[in-house]
Amino acid sequence: MKLISAFGNKLQIVGEEELPLSYSQTSQDEHRGFELSESMSEVLLMDKCVQEDLRSLNIQDLTVWVDPLDGTSEFVRAQNDPSLLEQVTVLIGITYKGRPIAGVIHQPYYNLLSDSKVGRSIWGINGVGVFGINTCKESPSSGPFAVTTASHSNEMVDTALKALQEKI
């Protein structure tokens, strides 16, 4: 919603969830967006690293794709298993003339069940890199491994995993 109030109809926003039809400045209190204040200062420091062709884009050529609750199933099932909340994300993708240029994965419930700071944002910009994530020094497995979806498994995913397993 902060994107709408900041850019109005100049910026195309595509969301998985419907945006309220009567959104106005007076109803901002009803709509809570997440803040990326810590990450934002990190993003601004990257300005000199961003490719020249990404520095002066026409806002009308940008599209912001928003999935405000990726992991709906996990969110619902978390009533019985709060650890599932860590799988819930807010996804944001930015394209320029249909070409992906940046993205954000926000995990609002990351570290919820620990004494650490809750929530994290992982973001990346083409040609700059990925930030906000601590990577492992060692692989958790001594051999190859595959990562796939937990919530959208189907016969095609199972077939692909079996084919990979046969190659090991």
What residues form the annotated binding site for Mg(2+)?
Answer: 16, 67, 69-70
- Binding-site residue numbers are 16, 67, 69-70
- The tokens describing 148, both together, are 């796939």
Neighbouring residues of 20: CB distance < 8 A, sequence distance ≥ 6 = 27, 31
HEC assignment per residue over 84-116: HHHHCEEEEEEEECCEEEEEEEEECCCCCCCCC
Q: How far apart are CA 99 and CA 65, in angstroms?
A: 12
Note whether 69 and 88 are within 8 A (CB): yes
Neighbouring residues of 109: CB distance < 8 A, sequence distance ≥ 6 = 85, 86, 88, 118, 119
